[in-house]
């Protein structure tokens, strides 16, 4: 027997995963269609900001950049 489930506790994690998946699908789909990376990034940031309108644009672009391109390596 398992303990009680609290769906609202899982919701932020599920939302974050769904958002990241949507952002990555947007970016990779546009790149596969031959769109410039910059346009694909702008579209992916728009998707992210749809899910998280409270995040400032510059921060949203940083987050999305890490998601689609990975961290910058020196």
Q: What is the pTM of this model?
A: 0.76
Going by the DSSP 8-state scheme, the letter that residue 34 receives in this structure is: T
Looking at the domain assignment, is residue 64 inside a domain?
A: yes
Looking at the domain assignment, is residue 4 inside a domain?
A: no
Per cent of the chain over pLDDT 90 is 66
Structural domain harbouring 50: 18-69
| Whether pLDDT at 64 is above 90 | yes
Residue 15: its pLDDT value, please? 73
Cα→Cα distances 5→11, 12, 17, Å: 12, 15, 19
Looking at the domain assignment, is residue 37 inside a domain?
A: yes
Looking at the domain assignment, is residue 50 inside a domain?
A: yes
Looking at the domain assignment, is residue 74 inside a domain?
A: no
Number of structural domains (the chain) is: 1
Q: How far is residue 68's CA from residue 26's CA, in Å, rounded to a whole number?
A: 10
Higher pLDDT, 44 or 15: 44
Looking at the domain assignment, is residue 10 inside a domain?
A: no
């Amino acid at each position: 027997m398992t303990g009680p489930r609290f769906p609202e506790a899982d919701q932020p994690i599920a939302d974050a995963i769904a958002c990241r998946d949507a952002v990555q699908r947007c970016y990779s789909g546009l790149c596969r269609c031959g769109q410039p990376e910059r346009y694909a990034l702008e579209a992916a940031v728009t998707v992210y900001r749809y899910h998280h309108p409270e995040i400032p644009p510059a921060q949203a672009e940083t987050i999305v950049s890490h998601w689609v391109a990975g961290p910058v390596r020196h």
